[in-house]
């Protein structure tokens, strides 16, 4: 871990090495307030520290924004009355106890209804998480079909996988396999499209180069606005907490 001061605050960050040939230091601030600097392996710690300090004001602002979000959210208890997102809309949870019925989750009349044989928060949690993954698998496949024609460099449908992640919406492997976070299904469709297009752009450009951002501008001219919207919802979506 490396650290520096911005005003009276000591900001620590983790250094990781970039696997490509790009010589820039990429700085990321995550919703859980971790700060990471992805740097070329040839760069010294002093060089990385100097690059990070140049972005100190931006890092501080990002940390303040995420901390502000975290002060307005509470851990879930998986009981009736809580609010849950799906495709950008909020649904109130309604837990139904039915000893003879099969466990089930469904959207019904503006509510997320969970049927259990006996009230148990862990069981409710498991059912909701399974439902999100099932819906994510279907929705992501549909959105991939809807946007893939915009990426002319993609010649065949890439394989799509799900993986729950704490700090990422998605990733793209060197061989073109897309991995998306099932929590992303809580976001509006335009945000899902943004993440999918972002990863499809990585099939052509495996780093965040100027060419990468030119491709993003081509396929989604308003991507920065959409990204900002998604970033604002990240804490509640990724950490399983509610406002």
Structural domains of the chain, with CATH? 2-71 (no CATH), 74-242 (3.30.2010.10)
Please give the pLDDT value at position 71.
66
Query: What average pLDDT does this structure show over 216-228?
Result: 93
Residue 196 has pLDDT above 90, yes or no: yes
Percent of the chain with pLDDT over 90: 61
d(CA 49, CA 54): 9
Please give the pLDDT value at position 93.
95
Q: How far from 160 is each of 87, 145, 171, 173, 186, CA to CA, in Å?
A: 19, 11, 10, 11, 18
Please give the pLDDT value at position 96.
95
Residue 243 has pLDDT above 60, yes or no: no
Please give the pLDDT value at position 16.
85
Please give the pLDDT value at position 20.
59
Please give the pLDDT value at position 114.
97
Residue 126 has pLDDT above 90, yes or no: yes
């Amino acid at each position: 871990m490396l650290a520096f001061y911005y005003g009276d605050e000591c900001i620590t960050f983790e250094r990781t090495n970039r696997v490509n040939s790009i010589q820039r230091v990429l700085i990321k601030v995550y919703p859980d307030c971790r700060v990471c600097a992805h740097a070329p392996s040839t760069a010294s710690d002093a060089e990385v520290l100097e690059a990070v300090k140049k972005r100190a004001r931006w890092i501080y602002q990002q940390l303040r924004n995420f901390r502000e979000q975290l002060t307005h959210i509470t851990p879930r208890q998986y009981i009736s009355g809580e609010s849950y997102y799906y495709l950008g809309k909020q649904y109130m949870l309604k837990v139904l106890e039915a000893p003879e019925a099969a466990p089930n989750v469904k959207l019904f009349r503006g509510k997320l209804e969970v049927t259990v044989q006996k009230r148990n928060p862990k069981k409710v949690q498991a059912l909701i998480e399974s439902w999100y993954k099932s819906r994510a698998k279907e929705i992501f496949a549909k959105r991939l079909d809807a946007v893939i024609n915009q990426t002319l460099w993609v010649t065949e449908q890439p394989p799509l996988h799900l993986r729950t992640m704490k700090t990422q919406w998605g990733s793209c492997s060197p061989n073109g396999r897309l991995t998306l976070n099932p929590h992303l299904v809580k976001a509006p469709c335009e945000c899902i499209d943004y993440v999918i297009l972002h990863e499809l752009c990585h099939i052509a450009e495996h780093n965040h180069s100027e060419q990468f951002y030119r491709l993003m501008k081509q396929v989604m001219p308003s991507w920065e606005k959409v990204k900002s919207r998604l970033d604002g919802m990240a804490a509640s979506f990724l950490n399983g907490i509610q406002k």
